[in-house]
Amino acid sequence: MKTSLFKLTSLNLNGIRSASSKGLQAWVEQTAPDCICVQEVKAQADDVAGRFEQMAERRGYFHFAAKKGYSGVGIYSRHEPSDVIIGFGEPEFDAEGRYVELRFDTKTVKRSIISCYFPSGSSGDDRQQAKFRFLAKIYPHLQQLKAGREFVLCGDVNIAHQEIDLKNWKSNQKNSGFLPEERSWMTKLLSEGGLVDVYRQLHPGATDEAYTWWSNRGQAYAKNVGWRLDYHLATPAMAAGAKAASIYKTEKFSDHAPITIEYDWVL
């Protein structure tokens, strides 16, 4: 059985133009992931054309939001996919540009990389209710996908699953991102839903070093008052190939940090 090392990065950009101005492309060239999944592109097709279709010789595939300057996801890939899936079939959220899937199918394996941006509920109850609707819709979609193929979903899930996933868990129990209902959804996904939180598989007890997002308030980044909101969620066979995980904090491209995991891919 032949395998090859596959390096997969996920990063919420908080705006592709902003992240690029802070040195993102040079970092991608240097670290050379096979795929980098990006979220919160905050751009339209016209903005990307001629500027961001490629990054470090990796071609980009995007799902843009209908609303300008909002949401949007993409995947830059060194390998050409066998198919590209834009959206997951739910009009409310497909209009918000939250899901792109690249398929790399061979005669022996069906395999996907997904970039997904889960809604935030922090701006008010309307958006929290939208977040709950999204969770209710994405769960059966992932189950259906899992029944037919291997995949890794990379993305900003906007949920800190456990107490070790954020600094101030006690004071955040009534706040979006750490609500009991959100945490229960994640527990269900990782138990009866059969998916694997790949970073936690490799680093089960990591706390301060596990954070991937920091508020812009109160020197949160300098003090490392963070949350772990960015995940690799994989089918068990994909997760079994995970070898190493790293969260890069030396440079700051966004209010999130890139998380990279290296996998053994069976060829």
Which residue among the candidates 34, 156, 165, 230 is catalytic per the annotation? 156
Measured distance CA(81)–CA(6) in Å, rounded: 14
Residue among 166, 168, 160, 246 at smallest CA distance from 203: 246
CA distances, 159 to each of 24, 28, 71, 78, 167 (Å): 25, 26, 17, 29, 13
Angle of helix 180-190 relative to helix 125-148, nearest 10 degrees, comes to 0
Q: Bridge-partner residues for 6, per DSSP?
A: 263
156 is catalytic: yes
The radius of gyration of the chain from alpha carbons, rounded to an integer in Å, stands at 17
Cα–Cα distance, 120 to 143 (Å, whole number): 22
Distance (Å) of CA 231 to CA 29, 67, 81, 199 = 22, 25, 22, 7
Identity of residue 126: D
Q: Cβ neighbours of residue 156 under 8 Å, at least 6 residues apart?
A: 10, 12, 39, 40, 117, 118, 213, 229, 230, 256
Contact between 114 and 37 (Cβ < 8 Å): yes
Which residues are designated catalytic? 156
